[in-house]
Structure 1
Amino acid sequence: MSIFVKAVELGSFSAAADALNMSPQLVGKHVQFLEQHLGIRLINRTTRRQHLTEVGSQFYERCRNILAEVESAEALAAETRAVPRGKLKINAPVSFGIHALTPKLPKYLGAHPEVSIELSLSNRLVDLIDEGYDAVFRVGELVDSGLIARRLDPYRLVICAAPNYLRSRGVPSKPDDLKEHDCLIFSHTMLRTHWDLEGPDGSVNIPIYGRLMIDNGEALLQAALAGLGIILQPFELVRSSLEAGSLVAVLPEYNVPTRSLHILHAPDRRITPKLRSFLDFVSSEFSGREWV
């Protein structure tokens, strides 16, 4: 098939022979064998010119498609065998990047010594294509961006405050009590005006108020540790403070609905070995709820 396609594309057996490094006679034998195998004439030949028969033209188009698929399959197999190498440019939300992703990176980099990572942390929605990222992490519901998304385990959120704040202002015993407290507000999400909770009586939506609004989870954590109010933030961000007792859980009998977490990449037909290895690593590390 490949010799037949080459002879058609270059217009003669001799031109195909030069391209394939074989004799014109051998090219002719391959085409003749193909015709005998099919029981039809594919090319009408004279001493001066050749042209496809009607069925030969149809057969040529099918052969081109088949050979393209074979080439694609072989390239994919070669990429799978290839060693991941090169630089990965990744973007992630700040708190997730610091407390969840970065601690996992030594394991990935140790397994792939020829890969380097440029990690950008930002709570804004970056443009993966225009800004040249290989992959981006997104927390929350996705918009239709045309990107390929892999779903990871949901992002867990908790409500907590410093013990000295609760001693001075009282401990909330029900969601409505939050209305009487200073809540530290994260300005980048819908959580800046209302907090959703699930408890014994079902779901409730509580309006929250506060005098301090910040666009960075790390800064909100420091404000909470200083006793300025109650925060609702990712568990990974406050885990060590909860374990140390410098923060305590508020309304622990109520659950905060989790937020979806995805990693996205461009819809390329073939993924590079470095990106494939990273996507597989992330799927392994952030699935099964072992990381929350």
Structure 2
Amino acid sequence: MDRLQSMRVFAKVVEQGSFVRAGQLLNMSNAVVTRHVADLENHLGTRLLNRTTRRLSLTETGHAYLERVVQILQEVEDAEAIASAQSKKPAGILRIYSNVGFGQLQLAQLLPQYAEAYPDVVLDITLGDHSVDLVESGLDIGIFIDFQKFDASMIARQIAVCEVLLCASPAYVKKHGEPSAPEDISNHVCLNFSYDQLRHYWPIASKGDGVTNIPVRSRMFSNSGDVLRHSTLAGMGIMIRPSFALGDDLATGRMVRLLPDHHLGQLSIVMVYPSRRLLSAKVRSFVDFMTDRFPQPDSDPWLACKDGRLM
């Protein structure tokens, strides 16, 4: 039998001084009530109640046990009340894992708005570019770029797409000229991500044509978008960068977009969480918050903003 339920039955029997009255209040037969108490005694290997035809009394062990049972039942009741309250009002620690670039350049702009709307939620943000198991890591929500792997059993909602653009600093363009066609990239210095699929060729696409793999001459490789960005701003070469990671570099003129009718494909930004059922209020509030901020998940909101910043 359920030991916690047996504890409840035992406490009610003592409170009422009767198996029959306890059964009536708990909507149980006298036989079921008796069996709960007997199962507890058998489990503990000791008698808890002295029974006569006229009255019940606690044994010495029963007194000590009842005292602890009452505390345990109260703590369980308190825990259930807390859980029930948190399922209705967003509160507690919300643990979010995000892709580094998206987290630094977009999520960071949005979190103050969320925090103002939900003051009882404490935000715990982790950034990374590797795959992660949300459940195993104790995380509530993950925001991934589509090449990051996640458990297929998770609920995944695309919140936006972005294009991968070619960019350079005005100083670089002034010194080396601006490519007028994808093939011209082969004659320029490239600052490259260290992914194998990009080390030797960039798959450049246009709206009207297919994809062309352009050989590239890389002067730098890095797994850090920030390192590549700073080197690009210094005029070292051409880089590729997701539109969400451009910030205001285009708007301020620190960078210029090269081959504006071309891109290196699209990336999906995906929000992942464990289950649609019984979502806590804090998780549901963040899911709804992000959905409101990205109402057109199949479009590139950063290109729509022109300057890489969200409206």
Q: Which amino acid aligns with 1:250?
A: L
Counterpart mapping for 1:1-292 below 5 A: 18=22, 21=25, 82-141=88-147, 143=149, 145=151, 146-188=153-195, 190-199=197-206, 200-267=208-275, 269-288=277-296, 289=299, 291-292=301-302
Aligned counterpart, 1:60: none
**Separation in structure 2 between the aligned mates of residue 163 and residue 223 of structure 1, nearest angstrom:** 13
Q: Which amino acid aligns with 1:286?
A: F
Cα contact 1:183–1:230 (8 A) shared by 2: yes
Aligned counterpart, 2:15: none
**Separation in structure 2 between the aligned mates of residue 118 and residue 175 of structure 1, nearest angstrom:** 43
Q: TM-score, normalised by structure 1?
A: 0.70
Aligned residues: 232
Cα contact 1:221–1:238 (8 A) shared by 2: no
Structure 2 unaligned residues grouped into runs of 5+: 10-17, 30-80, 303-311
Deviations 1:73-100 (A, max 9, x none): xx9xx67971100011111111110111
Deviation at 1:103, TM superposition (A): 0.2
Q: Percent identity?
A: 30
Cα contact 2:131–2:148 (8 A) shared by 1: no
Deviation at 1:139, TM superposition (A): 0.4
**Separation in structure 1 between the aligned mates of residue 126 and residue 235 of structure 2, nearest angstrom:** 30
Deviation at 1:157, TM superposition (A): 2.2
Cα contact 1:179–1:206 (8 A) shared by 2: yes
**Separation in structure 2 between the aligned mates of residue 212 and residue 253 of structure 1, nearest angstrom:** 25
**Separation in structure 1 between the aligned mates of residue 160 and residue 85 of structure 2, nearest angstrom:** 28
**Separation in structure 2 between the aligned mates of residue 183 and residue 92 of structure 1, nearest angstrom:** 27
Moved more, 165-174 or 16-25: 16-25
Q: Which amino acid aligns with 1:194?
A: Y
| RMSD between aligned residues | 3.0
**Separation in structure 1 between the aligned mates of residue 187 and residue 28 of structure 2, nearest angstrom:** 91
**Separation in structure 2 between the aligned mates of residue 270 and residue 139 of structure 1, nearest angstrom:** 26
Deviation at 1:209, TM superposition (A): 2.8
**Separation in structure 1 between the aligned mates of residue 144 and residue 101 of structure 2, nearest angstrom:** 12
